[in-house]
Amino acid sequence: MKPLLLLLSSFAILVSSLAAAPPNIVIILADDLGYGDLGCYGHPQFKTPRIDQMAAEGVRMTQFNTPAPFCAPTRASLMTGRYPFRCGMTQNPAPDGGPVADALSLPKGEVTLAQVLKGAGYATGMVGKWHLGHKKGALPTERGFDEYLGIPYSNDMRPVQILEGTEVAEYPVVQATLTTRYAKRAVDFINRNAKKPFFLYFAEAMPHKPLASSEKHYQKAAGGLYGAALADLDDSVGAVLDALKQNGIDDNTLILFSSDNGAWFGGSCGGLRGMKGTSWEGGYRVPMIARWPGKIPAGRVNHELAVMMDLFATVLAATGAKIPDDRVLDGSDLMPLLAGDAKSPHEFVFGHQGPKLVTIRDARWKLHLAPAREMALKPGADGKWLDPRAPDGVTILAPFEQYNLDAHPGLKTGVEGAAGLLFDLQADPGEQVDVASKHPEEVKRLQAAYDAMNKHVPVVEEVKRAPYKKP
């Protein structure tokens, strides 16, 4: 009888320990993925079955915002839970943009999500685009990650090279196989750390220009090269999902999937105005999917207002890791929204353009405090726009296939951009009709909230990228 009691007791302890196991965290961040690029967000042509599956098994958000329409500021907010102006990362580091842009990095006083989770006993791994500083002292393995493989900035910045930790592992880089190789490394990290809590930050390269795809999808996927790049992206998400199931840790893993800003040429902003780089909704609003079997009900769509900094707070709440209490955090735990019917924790969300705040919105209204920036690109002699950053003679960027200016991802119609425009996003999500004169009380209310926040924004000169000079 005693052996049986001991066996039952041991089993109970095992079950209890398994139930109390900290959840694994996987954050997948696409690069320049537009609000309307995915099948589950309504794209009629691009095929993304594995991402659509993830949405069907979790929750899809329709009012998820980035704090900036560019790469690095959003990534800094994800890693710190703070608006770009607070964490000192309001512009993109660029190794080929002159000495000032080359030197930009996330300040050392900022605490990253990886540092917090590593301190809580998590294995931490990153694959892909970092873009928070590319010099030694600022790289992922020096900011909380146990390991890193990827291009440390955008895949169109020279030199395009893959780092392993802090050292160059591949140069030149053939980008046609990049997504596939990134996925292989992400799966390898999961396999090696399946028996302990881990944090995987998988920052994809696509569909940022220059576009590239594997032979599996090249000239075979619907939607041309952009569609092929998305098909590779979708496959990589599927590889992660499969690895979690194969290791028996699917039910104990929170997956968060999003994008760093709106779409570039060739993509879709899903009927929103503008695109990446602009302060229209097409620049800020992005897909966000959360999946955690047993914790997040399947098949839900959430329409509450949320922002990228929330992922920091959500992960810390889910893991029980200590939340930094020596600084202002702008994000909030989204689990009450993702798992239930809670309302947004945000009364307002602010939008950056470089070092300045230029927009404020709530659940319904959006006020522009400065004229919306437009993407000013000059087409070539044949009317098509070509990326001026062609290969430098050593670096292999990607096949020379670029989208022209006719492939604008968002609406280009509507009232001309100007300071003081007010839009009713419920009635007019495409920001076509200015209603400031009809709702002066809303302008006044939003202006007052903007002024209160703007008092905390330091005056910083915008860094102008120097023209590239061939070595």
Backbone angles phi, psi at 345, to 5 degrees: -80, -5
Return the beta strands (E) in 215-370 as ranges: 253-259, 288-291, 300-302, 306-307, 349-353, 356-361, 365-368
pLDDT at position 6, please? 46
DSSP symbols for 263-291: --TTS--TT-B--TTSSSHHHHB--EEEE
Domains for the chain: give ranges and CATH numbers: 21-351 (3.40.720.10)
Residue-level pLDDT, tens digit, the chain, 471 residues: 445 444 444 454 444 444 568 999 999 999 999 999 999 999 999 999 999 999 999 999 999 999 999 999 999 999 999 999 999 999 999 999 999 999 999 999 999 999 999 999 999 999 999 999 999 999 999 999 999 999 999 998 989 999 999 999 999 888 989 999 999 999 999 999 999 999 999 999 999 988 889 999 988 999 988 999 999 999 999 999 999 999 999 999 999 999 999 999 889 999 999 999 999 999 999 999 999 999 999 999 999 999 999 999 999 999 999 999 999 999 999 999 999 999 999 999 999 999 999 999 999 999 999 999 887 666 666 666 555 555 555 555 555 555 556 688 999 999 999 999 999 999 999 999 999 999 999 999 999 999 999 999 999 888 888 877 766
pLDDT at position 465, please? 83
Q: Which is the catalytic residue, given 71, 87, 208, 352?
A: 71
Q: Is 131 considered catalytic here?
A: yes
Q: Across the strands, what pairs with 202? A: 28, 127
pLDDT at position 390, please? 55
Predicted TM-score (pTM) of the model is: 0.94
Q: Which is the catalytic residue, given 43, 87, 131, 134?
A: 131
pLDDT at position 13, please? 44
What separation in angstroms does the CA of 18 have from each of 26, 286, 322, 345? 19, 35, 21, 32
pLDDT at position 335, please? 98
How far apart, in whole angstroms, are the C-alpha atoms of residue 199 and residue 202? 10
pLDDT at position 462, please? 86
